[in-house]
Every structure is written in structure tokens, then in C-alpha cells.
Structure 1
Amino acid sequence: MRSILILCLVLAVGEAMRDQSIAVKGRLMCGDKAAANVRIKLWEEDSGPDPDDLLEAGYTDSDGSFQLSGGEAELTPIDPIFKVYHDCDDNFISHEYSKPNAQQAEILQDFSKFSKPEERPPMAVEHQMYDYRQAEEELHDELFAIVCCPHSIGFDRDKIALVDLDPSSETFCTTISEIILPSNGDEPGRINWAKSADSLTEMNKLVRKHIIVPCMNSGKIYVIAFEKQQFKIEKEIQSDELTRKNVSCPYAVRSLPLKGAPVHVSTLGDRYGNGKGDFVLIDRKTWEIRKKSEPAFSPFGGDFTLQPRHNILISSEWGHPRLFRDGFSPSELENVSESFGSRLHVWQISPPKLLQSLHLDSFDGSLVIAVKFLHNADCNHAFAISAVGSSIFHVHMNTLTKHWTADRVAHIPCLKVEHWQSDEMPALLTDMIISMDDRWLYVCGFLHGVIWRFDIQDPFRVTLNGKINIGGVFDSFPEVRIKSSNAMEDRWWLPPETRSFARGTKFRGGPALMQLSKDGCRLYVCNSFYKAWDAQFYPELISDGGQMVRVDIIENEMKLNDRFLLDMKGQPNGPFVIRDMKFLDGDCTSDSFL
């Protein structure tokens, strides 16, 4: 449905004191109907270092009419921008899944409540933010966490552990229970629960009993039952089952919030270790791999994110598993376009169909390590980060044309250094996390040792809000220095000079993976991403093991909690590193809302 905007711009510029003003007046229509109660904003865009200015914000009235105005004192003529936060396309996309007939009825029934527009939840009038502080229980939902702990050297078996995060507990920052995986060298990737809540309010009510553990090196997938703080392996999907389907290297896990819907696991390679982006679908009743209706895959695999309401899946590209399993070589970093993927793929979930491939810059978008939708199911916005390119992309859809676009909204430049492996050091972005209220984006630089916090309330105008230093190359190798030439540049992205330590212990390595509490006040940070990368940049992680620390966010300030430290050094049968983590009642990365 087309959106028709009727408006009138009036610009008045005063010569004295260079005061300038702008006014916008008009009526917003969706087809032949008035678009009432639509969020609108009037901005003044600055081309220099100053941030853009919000002149006035408001809503359209009952007949779609509106009027905004504002002024600024500027040296040059102001550049006004009028923004409308609205989606006129209210058609619901029906979902069909290729499944056994007995389960098809359950899925269709689950979707039926959204089949009629008048029965659907109201569409967001703007980039809606969840008020997730309303329920007091949200403050206590991460008393325990399940963490993934690969053996750092690999001569012994990896484990999954339950750790105590409650500061008032006698077992604070210790392992409560654990399960040892049956074989050596599994190298678990990104773990996740087999079930997903369909909304924020249902997260605490959902009974989560099984966690899916994909293993990047062995090619196995474990289904681990969890009940009464104890683990049990319920199913072990052998690598041969994936090889027969010509896939390998399972990495990330996501689930749809529907009865009978399968668990999606992304795979990064074919049977020979060459790049191939595909998925295996695991039945949640039998834990068997389902047969897909149609073969569909991309040249490279990686992370992915789901938007069930719009029947959309976006996947990213890494590279050839046979290459990144050995770390980074200078030739690969010099020829990124040949070594790594630089595309995002937009898929229809069911029936599976590739809708569009977004080609990013071969350097800025090289090795897209993570991609995530906003939590608000009405929004068609997502963010992605690249590891080698060290860039942040805003991914969004034009609701009229259904065309997707990826805009680079931030870039972390390489640091010019001396006494390191190279003359330039990339940030090597390895993880990002979006707060539950869709206000903040946290991004970690594995080599720079920095976590940046960006304001994404307006996803088209991402701004830096804060940063904190946690480890990094400069802490691990004091001889490495930043060249003075960096001092002449904008310093917003440089590592902070202030450093702190949890319990007086140095943070080995750099920030690699994160998890955020649902109230947005506690950010948990681990220092291992992939053992080949750990060994290449931080050998101490392999010899001494991994760690997890906590960053407290108080009144927009990020501060390392000096009491919280989970250290795997000296663990029996270790050392182990700490990889991914999940809260028992769900977290900012566990669910795909409907």
C-alpha cells in the first residue's frame, strides 16, 4: 500500500546571529486512509563533527495532519530532514512449513490468531522500545547461567557448565554442575535453547528443558536435557548425518516460537570443508534431522537471525572452514575478497526461498560475524557486524518495494601500531548484542580490547554512547604501542586509557562474546571466540584458560564489576576457555518473537 505525504516546507533564515528556522506542515495518508497517531520527527543534519540535532518530534492527529518547527544557530545553511516512522503495509505473510502432516495442523493453528489483520497486535507507530523494567522478577532472572567451555588445548573433552551468578550466594562465581561431552575436540559454537518464547512477557513462563550444542570442529550436534540443575545428553547427532547431506561445521542455533516448528542450525561448509551456507532442521520431538522440501544454500555460511512475523531469515557469510580453522594468514587478510564472504542473504523461512543477497563492500563487509534483528517483531530493522572489516551495518526493508538495504553506519578503523604482528591492527569485531528495549547496541573488539555502546533508537542515525576497555592486545603485550599518528585523528574509537581489573586479576585476551541481562544493567563478557583465533592472538588463553567478567551499566556509564570473575585457570582436567552463555529464563539473544 502506498504512503502519500502532503506537506509544505517554510524556511526562514535570519541574518543576525545566523539564527535559522524550519517548519513542516502536511497530511500523511496510507492509500486513501488517513495515517493517524504516526510518529514524526524534524531533524537538522550536520555534515561536520557535530551530531545531528532533533528540532521537534510529535504525532499526526486523527486525520493525519501534522505540523513541526524548530530552529538552530548555525554557521552554514541548515539541512532539514523530515522523518516518518510508519509502515503502511499491514498484509500478513502466511507461513507454511514443510513438515509431517501430523504437525502441520499445529503450526497453522498457532499462526491462525495472526491471520486476520484486525486480530493482530497493533503495528508499532515508530521504533518501539520495550519497557522491560516493569516486572521486578526481570532483575533476578540471571541467578544462574549455562556456559560453554571448550578445552583450550584439545587433548581432553569439552564441557557445558552451570555457574552461579548470584552475588548473595555462597557459591557465587563457581560451577554448580557440569556435563563432559563424550569426545575430544568438539569445539562448541553458539549454543541456544530448543524453544523460543513468542513475546517478551512469555519468556519467564516458557519451560526450557533442552539446549542445542553445535560443534564446529567435530561436526556433531548435541541435544542436552537440563532439569533440576543437572545435565543429560539426550541425543548425539553424528557428523556422518551432516556429511550425507553435504554440510559440515554447525555453528549457530535459532528456534521459531511455534508448536512443531524445527530448530534451525546454520552450517558453514560442505563435506570437504569448502564454504557452503546451509541449515539443518532438527525435529523437537524426535531430535532427528528433518528432510527439507527444497535444496537452497549460499556460497558461505555464518550467523543468522529470524523474524517469524514477517517470515524472514537473514544469514551472514564467514568463509571456508578449512581456512579459518587455522586462524588468519597475512595473505588472507591482504586478499579478503577471495578469502572471506561479504554478503547478507535474505530468505523466506517457509517455504524456503532466497529472496535477495546484499553485497557489502569487499573490505568493510568482510567476514560478517553476526547479524541480529531488533526484538520488536513489528520492526523490519536488523544490524550486522563484520570481523575483518570492523564495520557495523544497519539492515532494513523498504515496505513498499520489499527491497532490503544494508547501510554502513559505523566503522572502527585499524590502529597503526608497532611491535605487533602487523603495522595495522583491526578491531576484529567478534560479537554484538542488542538490548531488550532495542535502544542500545553493544559491540566488542577482540584485538583492541574495547566494548563500544551505540545508541540505535534511530537506527538510521547510530551514535556512540560510551566505551570501556577490557583486556586486548595492549594489555597482553605491553611492548605493542599505538603510533603517534593516531593522535591526530578523531579519538572516539581508540581504546580508553583507563583500565580496571576484576578481583585484581588481569583479563586475558580480549572481549569476544557477550550476554546482556533483560533489564539492560549487567553485561557479561567472555574472552574466547574460536580456539584457532585465541591461540594466534592470545596464547595465554590456551595455557591459562578463559574468564568471564561483568560490566555494570549505571546511568549510562559502563563500569567493570570488581567482585565478579569466573576464572577457568586451574580447573580440574583443564584448562578450559569460556565461550557462549545462556540464562535459564531466556536472554537478549535466546528468542525470536512473533
Structure 2
Amino acid sequence: MRTTEHVHDRDDHNDPTLYRTPADAVAAPPETLAYVVGFDPTAQRADALFTVDTDPASPAYGRVVSHAELPDLGNELHHFGWNACSSALAHAGHHHASRRYLIVPGLRSSRLHVFDTAPDPSRPHLVKVIEPGELAAKAGYSRPHTLHCGPDGVFLSGLGGADGADGPGGVALLDHESFEVLRAWESDRGPQRFAYDVWWHLRQNIAMTSEWGSPSMIEDGLVPELLLGRRYGHCLHFWELDSGRHLQRVDLGDENQMVLELRPSHDPEATWGFTNTVVNVEDLSASVWLWDREGEDFAVRKVITIPAEPAQTEDLPPALRPFGAVPPLITDIDLSVDDHWLYVSAWGTGDLLQYDVSDPLHPRQTAAVRLGGIVGPQPHPAEPDVPLTGGAQMVELSRDGRRVYLTNSLYASWDDQFYPAGIDPWMVKLDADTSHGGLSVDSRFFPRGADFLGLRVHQTRLQGGDASSDSYCYRR
């Protein structure tokens, strides 16, 4: 572990961005900055953390205002997150926690980079590098993917076993303050082997994990034989949060390949949430599923199905020509902090879909916007004559639910299969109608291409937290 400077001030005052309730988070001041990771798919240039101005009153609105390059190559920055968030209020030992540091994993390198957003939030700077050997030696994992700040530590999912082995993947615990790898979280993993996301119902002491695949199944692209053989992940797992003991495995059906994002209700008393599957191998559709507790066990049911769209063979990339259709490929979902709106990104078609989920069992589509897409790619209003490359992919939502941020890259090797002509980076903001539903693209906000130094951009985090980075301890 390399440290570039002292990384923790134990005299931090209580952070006002640690919110007691979802309503407090919704009512807090809006974000004025967004943080976005960018990577070089050729691994010849350094990846970077970008800061984008999101204040409509600022002369720099919609522009990249700074970037911090990594000191090493080949990381492929992907998902990242805060060292502390609202869940810290559940634990008296972390009452001085501060949402200050961004922990940024390299999915290819298994290296972790820690950025400090103080004293100037618009210019984060690197303060620590955790080498892959520490993650392997102390937790037994590699290929770090998703992290969430919990009450007792930072939970970091790893797709691979030690040193990139094919498994099992799982969850490592990191210290909130020093960022040192503590141990593997699981005490009894039961039948779980694949990993992807990890989240929880904090007050119920329940955790959930989802499944993508092992390193050899994803790193060189989607493997058709494995997909058609139904070998990618297709299960949800439920755990005892404090002990890491496996409780229940729910199979969504092996035709539903790749169970990815976990979006639990933000209501701390609730036991339901949404997940998505990327593709159904029988008809190329994609789907969203609802889990909820029924007695001691959890049940999972499909609540949204998005069908594939027929297409001319010559318009399709080689990987899809045998099928004659564009699969929607749901690659991200996001649930508003008030649990009213669900956003679904269909990276294959380029659609961002908005659903009213005030009745979670019966989602109702209220809006759709198409940006990019494999066939007939759609433009941005700021450049109506230039079709966007890639498609709506990573989606992040402001705490008040009024702003939606999108980026267009999935994973380098998968980008190349589905968008072989290449992906030029872009970030888009949409304004959401939170009264009756509706989406409109903000024509003033469109960083792209050279703004990101040509690096492909993936996940976004928002100053002060966002819809997918916090769990709350109190209902009111």
C-alpha cells in the first residue's frame, strides 16, 4: 500500500451530507459537482478521475473543470464510491465519519486508488494506492468491481479470487479511515460463486449479492458459448449482514443471464428492491425483477420485460447478426431516493426508460429517451446532426430525483463487440418531471470527446451523495 500523504483528520466535524432519512437527503442542497471515471481501453494512457460542473448558474456548467490522472497504467476504472455515507449514522463509532474520500478500483488491475476531495472538492487529489497483492493476501479477492460504504466498513465486491483466479468472487471489507483491506466479509458463502453487486437492508441485517461471471468469462468479451450455454450468473443471494453468513439463493432461471444491479428501497423499514438481468437467451429480451421478504425467506418476481427490436442483418455488429435483432441489454438501473421512480438503461438500443414504481409490483412506464444505440443511433440536441456512439449505460440520479446523468461505455472488451466502430465518450444530463413523469435532455450539458481526453467514461458520483450511494438508518 502506497500512501502519498496523511489521509484522515480525526477532528472532522459531523458531515452535513450524512442524512438521517431519505427525506433529509431529498431536501438537501443540490449537487454542484459530479465525479466521473475515465479509462483508456488500450491501456497505453493513464486513466483519470474527472470533475464536472453541475451548477446551472456557473459559467463552467456542463464542462470538465479538472482531472486527476492515475500514476499507473491498465487499471480500467469502472465503479467507485465514497469512504463514508449516511449508513455511518447507524454506528456510534463512526460519528465523525466524513464523505470525503473517493475509493476508485481498477477492474483490470485490481489496484485501488483513493482520492481526497478536500480541501477543494473541484480538484480531488490522489492520497493512497492499495496494490492488488494486499487485496489478494488479506481478503482472497481480485477484480474489484463495486463498493458501498457500510456502518462497519467499506464493502468491496471482487469478481475474482486471489490474483485473478476464477473464483469464487465475493466481498472484501476495508477500513473506513485507513482504507486498509481487513478481511473477506463472508463467513459461510454456501453455494455462492459468482459476484457483482452488494447491497443491504440495514435495519433488517440482510445483505444481497448478485452475479455476473468470473474473470475468464468477462475480460476478453462476452463468450457466446457461455451465454448460450447459460453459464453466466442467474441468481440472487441473501445473507446475514453482520456475520456474512449465506441465508438463501434464488435462481431467476438460467435463461436470464447476468443478474447485475441491486437497488434496494431507501425506506429503512422496507425489505424490497429491484435488480436486472441483461439478456434472456431464448428471446433476447431483458428484464427487471422485484425481491421482497415473505416470512423468513425472500421471493423474486419479474415486473418489467423489455423485448428485443428486429433489425436488418447488415446494420448489426457481427456478434448479433445471427439473431437479426437488437437486444435491449439492461446494464444499469437506478431507484430514486423517494422510491417513486425507477430508471432503466438499455445499452443495446440506447434507451433510458423511466417508470413510476410507487406500486413496486406494477411499474408503469412514464417516459423514454433514446441516445446512441446499436442501430440508428440517436444524437444529442446540442449536435442534432451527429449520431452518438455507444448508448445510454451508467445512470446516476440526484438525491431530489430531478436530474439524471448518463455515460456511454460498459467495459472495453464488451464495448468493442457491440459497438465495433468505437465509442467516443459522452456524458448527458436529463431533467426529470417528478410530479407526473417525463424526461427532457438538457442541451446545455454535454461534455464529450476531448473534454474527457478521449478516455471512455463509466460511472458517475455526485457531490454530497446520490440515489445509489446511500442507505438510510431512520424513516423520519
Same topology, TM > 0.5: yes
Does 2:96 align with 1:195?
A: no
Aligned to 1:151: 40
Aligned to 2:348: 447
Structure 2 CA distance for aligned equivalents of residues 591 and 412 of structure 1: 28
Quote how far apart the aligned CAs of 1:177 are.
Answer: 2.0
Match of 1:391, as an amino acid? Answer: S
**How many residues in Structure 1 have an aligned counterpart in Structure 2?**
427
The one-character-per-residue Cα deviations of 1:236-286 (angstroms, maximum 9, x if unpaired) are 111112233432110001112x3xx21000011113441423111111232
The one-character-per-residue Cα deviations of 1:449-496 (angstroms, maximum 9, x if unpaired) are 1111122111122222221111101234xxxxxxxxxxxxxxxxxxxx
Structure 2 SS opposite 1:332:
helix
The one-character-per-residue Cα deviations of 1:208-263 (angstroms, maximum 9, x if unpaired) are 2111111110011122211113323222111112233432110001112x3xx210
Q: Which has the higher contact order (CA 8 A, sep 6+)?
A: 2
Does 2:381 align with 1:501?
A: yes
Quote how far apart the aligned CAs of 1:171 are.
Answer: 1.6
Does 2:455 align with 1:576?
A: yes
Structure 2 CA distance for aligned equivalents of residues 180 and 187 of structure 1: 12
1:519 to 364, 386, 400: 400
Matches within 5 A, 1:6-21: none
Structure 1 SS opposite 2:414:
helix
Structure 1 CA distance for aligned equivalents of residues 223 and 258 of structure 2: 14
Does 2:265 align with 1:374?
A: yes
C-alpha contact 1:214 1:222 (8 A) present in aligned 2: yes
Match of 1:546, as an amino acid? Answer: P
1:231 to 124, 136, 140: 124
Aligned to 2:468: 589
Structure 2 CA distance for aligned equivalents of residues 471 and 225 of structure 1: 34
C-alpha contact 2:170 2:186 (8 A) present in aligned 1: no
Aligned to 2:289: 393
1:403 to 289, 297, 317: 297
CA distance 1:567–1:500, shift in 2 (3 Å)? closer
Does 2:280 align with 1:280?
A: no
Does 2:152 align with 1:251?
A: no
Worse-matched range after superposition: 533-542 or 382-391: 533-542
Provide the TM-score with structure 1 as the length reference: 0.68
Match of 2:248, as an amino acid? Answer: Q
Which of structures 1 and 2 has the bigger CA Rg?
1
C-alpha contact 1:149 1:159 (8 A) present in aligned 2: yes
C-alpha contact 2:171 2:186 (8 A) present in aligned 1: no
Aligned to 1:529: 410
CA distance 1:499–1:350, shift in 2 (3 Å)? same
The one-character-per-residue Cα deviations of 1:84-132 (angstroms, maximum 9, x if unpaired) are xxxxxxxxxxxxxxxxxxxxxxxxxxxxxxxxxxxxx9xxxxxxx9657
Aligned to 2:11: none
Structure 1 CA distance for aligned equivalents of residues 238 and 225 of structure 2: 30
Match of 1:434, as an amino acid? Answer: L
C-alpha contact 1:317 1:344 (8 A) present in aligned 2: yes
C-alpha contact 1:303 1:369 (8 A) present in aligned 2: yes
C-alpha contact 1:523 1:550 (8 A) present in aligned 2: yes
Worse-matched range after superposition: 551-560 or 519-528: 551-560
Structure 1 CA distance for aligned equivalents of residues 472 and 61 of structure 2: 32
CA distance 1:206–1:509, shift in 2 (3 Å)? same
Provide the TM-score with structure 2 as the length reference: 0.84
Give % identity: 27
CA distance 1:509–1:391, shift in 2 (3 Å)? same
Does 2:198 align with 1:304?
A: yes
2:222 to 328, 331, 347: 328
CA distance 1:133–1:307, shift in 2 (3 Å)? closer
1:360 to 241, 245, 252: 252
1:220 to 111, 118, 125: 111
Matches within 5 A, 1:422-571: 422=321, 423-476=324-377, 501-504=381-384, 505-542=386-423, 545-554=424-433, 555-569=436-450
C-alpha contact 2:169 2:214 (8 A) present in aligned 1: no
Structure 2 CA distance for aligned equivalents of residues 541 and 219 of structure 1: 25
The one-character-per-residue Cα deviations of 1:349-369 (angstroms, maximum 9, x if unpaired) are 1111001111111112x1012
C-alpha contact 1:541 1:577 (8 A) present in aligned 2: no
- Name segments (4+ residues, structure 1) moved above 6 Å: none
Structure 2 CA distance for aligned equivalents of residues 246 and 517 of structure 1: 35
C-alpha contact 2:41 2:76 (8 A) present in aligned 1: no
Match of 1:269, as an amino acid? Answer: G
Match of 1:147, as an amino acid? Answer: V
2:242 to 350, 354, 363: 350
